[in-house]
Structure 1
Amino acid sequence: MSDALAAPGRTGQPSAEARATAVAAAIAQAAVDQADHAMRNWTDPEPGPVRIGSPQHLRMFCNMLLQTHNPYKPAVIDWPRLDPEARQRVTSLPIWDIAVQTEGRASVRVQSFADTVADPLLRSALEMDGGEEARHKVVLSKLVEAYGIALAPEPEYRPPDDLEWGWLVTGYSECIDSFFAFGLFAAARRSGFFPAELVETFEPVIQEEGRHILFFVNWAAWYRRNLPWWRRPLYALKVMRVWLFLVWERIGIARGIDADGAAQDANFAMTGSEALGSTLSARGMIDLCLAENERRMAGYDPRLLRPETVPRLARFARRLLR
């Protein structure tokens, strides 16, 4: 072997090993980019209008969730190094305990409801949803481990007595929290509160929540249409009770504002813009949430229903603000 080949650095040419490493990295990045694009963009190949509540509607919203799954693995996420100031900003947020516990409860509730569903496609989609919720918990657990964030002991996650109630609470709760989380995440990115590398690492989790609420609102519409007429009033009453429960919880009445700030944490998605370094006014924050909600839903088949209740309430609140 010549000296030039044995010592490629002398000629300024990369070694075969370096070239192979670069090619492998490029292939891996291309796979990541492809999975990310597939997670955000989906259209059902069957053309034509879709009747809400029809078998085609069921197939469409289930396939949307199943076919846009991003196969990233939390255990191999390379959490970026943070400088001391950025690390302090991240670790000081009062959200990590409630975030981990929320995902833990959600995964159990979704999986428990999935176990009651007979339709194989819908059951598979619900199991995917529950699995992704469990993965979110792992992501958050790895994040707090990487940055040395101390968490309170976790409770035991048990299925609720009423499995449908647990699924409805999870779905409508995500509709509320995700809408505001979209805006807060964008505000933190703009303000530099989260370093760009951390934003890029955590971004798939935020988009997955968008997929979840899109799946949920379509399931809710499909389910309501397929209920016998005599069951619809009781179901509507249950949904109303769920909304009242969630509002009650978020204003800190049902749980109370206890010494460790748990109620504050539960409301962080709606009240945390100042903590994230955002200088936006309340109107500006609502506008950002609305824009981000629309952006994150834009890549999915327009025939699927979009979440409407929280954006509609946000627009109403915006009109009341000066």
Structure 2
Amino acid sequence: MSISPTPDPSPPLARARGGRGTEVLTQIARAKINLTLRVTDRRADGYHELESLVVFADIADTLTLEPAGHVSVAVTGPFADVIGAASDNLIVKAFDRLAALMPGLKGGRFNLDKHIPVAAGIGGGSADAAAALRLLARLNDLSFDDARIMTAALQTGADVPVCVGSRACVMTGIGERLTPPLDLPALPAVLVNPRVAVATRDVFAALGRAGLPQHADRLGDVPRGFDGLIDYLHGHGNDLTDAAIACAPVVGEVLAALRALPGVRLARMSGSGATCFAIFSSASEAEAAARALAGRGWWVTPTILAAAP
């Protein structure tokens, strides 16, 4: 496994007092945005090989951990009522995978304040699991670059390793190979989710029926300037878009609405959907776009897509 260790992406660890004087540890779980996504192969085990340029948004969940003798997860926040067992159990799964590598691992009560839409193609569950691993590393005085952290991350889910560091990079394989962090410009953007959950397995099944796309080239060097990066992104898309639209036609409606906005530089779907994003030249344009999309019943938020927290 060739994952480069990365530093803790969160601000200095927040601590608060919990019950009986225990310390409550806090981590931020930022949404992952696939600026590009190529499906390069299907492996014999059924997993797909990917190549994706990833950045992180400032929309995030917050995860806290209060040390205790047992592990539990409680969920609050705007998406608490729609979070499914598969999503919140990624936190428990991350604990279990790390505990298998570290007998005697200390855990506790996790509390998740859920602000990232569920099954939305922006890595909410994966970001939560990665935040759980960072919290466990802190609680157990484990060096953040300990290889067991990233081993447990990959065993938890394909998108978890990139969320551990939450820094812009190109990820390949099934998510286990990450380039060193990239220095990219901040990208003012608006995120839109039509409040329709799209199962990743259904999207990949639709892609399989249509046939894997063929690519003659690789991503290559990623430009560091804003205009150069936008031009580059126009040449590298998301191979899952048509498959996602086949599963949820509203994704096409969202993309059409984003592409019609004044000042939009690029509109695209992230991951396997259904969340889409549009990039603008300024934060004020992104905020205006968010206001223009209000009233449709969609989840809409302006954000900054950044290379690092």
Q: Which has the larger radius of gyration?
A: 1
Q: Which structure dedicates a bigger proportion of its chain to strand? A: 2
Structure with the bigger percentage of helix: 1
Q: Please give the TM-score of this superposition, normalised by the length of structure 2.
A: 0.24
TM-score of the aligned structures, taking structure 1 as reference length: 0.23
